[in-house]
Amino acid sequence: MNKKILTLILIAFLSVIIGTSYGIIHNFITSSISTEFYTKFIFFKFVVLDDYSRQFSGNWTFPLTWIGFFSTGWFGLLTGLVLGVIALECKSVKIMLVKTLKSILIVIGIAIISGFVGYIFAELNPSEIITNYNYPFEIENKIAFNKVKTIHNFSYLGGIVGLIIGVLNQIKKWW
C-alpha cells in the first residue's frame, strides 16, 4: 500500500483521537456547569436515558465519555480525511503528516477558543428563556442550562470555522 495512503489513515485516526478527547473533556467541564443540560437533553439525545420520569443516578464517567466520543468523533474523522486528502499533494510523507497535524491543532484550538467565547457571551448575557425544547417538565436552572447550550453551539461553530481555516492552512502554498 502507498505510504501516503497509510499516512492518510494515520492522520484520520489521530484526528479522531484528538477530536474525541476534546469532546470528552468538554463534556466533563460543561456538565459541572449544568447537569440538567445532560440529564434533560443530551442523555435523551444519545439514549443514555429513555424515560423523562426517571432520574439519572449512575456514574457520569461512562455517559460523558460515550457522548463525547459520538458527538465529536465523526467531526474528527471528517477533519482528518479532508485535511489529509488535501495533504496528499505534499512532496513527502513527513511534510504531509506534520502539515496536517498542525492544521488539526488549528481546528481544535479554534474550537476551544470558541467555547470560551461562548462561555463569556453566556456570562455577559444570562438568559432564563428556554426555546425549542419540548420537555414534559420544567428546567430548574435555566441560566446554567443556556450557558452550556451556548458553549456547545459556539464550540460547534468554532469547529466549522477551524476546519475552514485548517483547509486554508493546507492549501496556502497555492496562494
pTM as predicted: 0.89
- pLDDT reading at 175 higher than 50: no
| pLDDT band (50, 70, 90) for residue 101 | very high
Tens digits of residue pLDDT in 15-49: 999 999 999 999 999 999 999 898 888 887 777 76
Instruction: Please state which of the ranges 89-98, 131-140, 154-163 shows the lowest mean pLDDT.
Output: 131-140
Q: What pLDDT digit, counting tens, does each position of 140-168 carry?
A: 899 999 999 999 999 999 999 999 999 99
DSSP string, the chain: --HHHHHHHHHHHHHHHHHHHHHHHHHHHHHHH-HHHIIIIIHHHTTS---TTSPP-S-SHHHHHHHHHHHHHHHHHHHHHHHHHHHTTSSSHHHHHHHHHHHHHHHHHHHHHHHHHHHHHHHHS------S---SS--S-HHHHHHHHHHHHHHHHHHHHHHHHHHHHHHGGG-
Tens-place pLDDT, residues 73-88 = 999 999 999 999 999 9
Residues 64, 82: Cα–Cα separation, whole Å: 27
